[in-house]
Amino acid sequence: MKKTKRSASKSSSAEYRLATLLGTKDCIPFHENLPDKEYPYILLSIYGSIKTNELFVKVSNGKVVFVEAIPSPLFSPSMANRIFGMDVADSNVAFRHAEIMWEKHKHDLIGK
């Protein structure tokens, strides 16, 4: 996917880290490409990193991509033991962070 805009360096670093993590045994895809209710071309994905106990939140419209990594609030069960689904605490933190990302990047994502 080609980007037309770059997000902040923090996000770019997380984007690179997620790209290297995807497709490995150390990545848990909790949610992929969930469409926004109002803007269905805006997609949300959430991944877990087993090695770093982080959640990666990715928001994209197909032209721009924003990725940020946040620490999981949980130490137990370990991320490796969450392969059958996202814990409620992780879900709350990840979706709350997606809302923060939306507020920061909504104009780029909507395309206005």
**What is the Cα–Cα distance from 66 to 40, expressed in whole angstroms?**
16
Asked if 5 and 108 count as a contact pair (C-beta separation under 8 A), the reply is: yes
What's the whole-model pTM score?
0.85
Tens of pLDDT, residues 62-72: 999 999 999 99
Q: What is the pLDDT of residue 7?
A: 43
**What is the Cα–Cα distance from 68 to 66, expressed in whole angstroms?**
7
Tens of pLDDT, residues 38-59: 999 999 999 999 999 999 999 9
Burial track 69-94 (b if 16+ CB lie within 10 A, e otherwise): bbebeeeeeebeebeeebbeebeebb
Asked if 62 and 45 count as a contact pair (C-beta separation under 8 A), the reply is: no
Q: How far, in Å, are 6, 16, 35, 64, 101 from residue 54 at the CA level? A: 22, 14, 23, 22, 16
Give the three-state DSSP class for 65.
strand
Q: Enumerate the domain spans of the chain.
A: 27-110
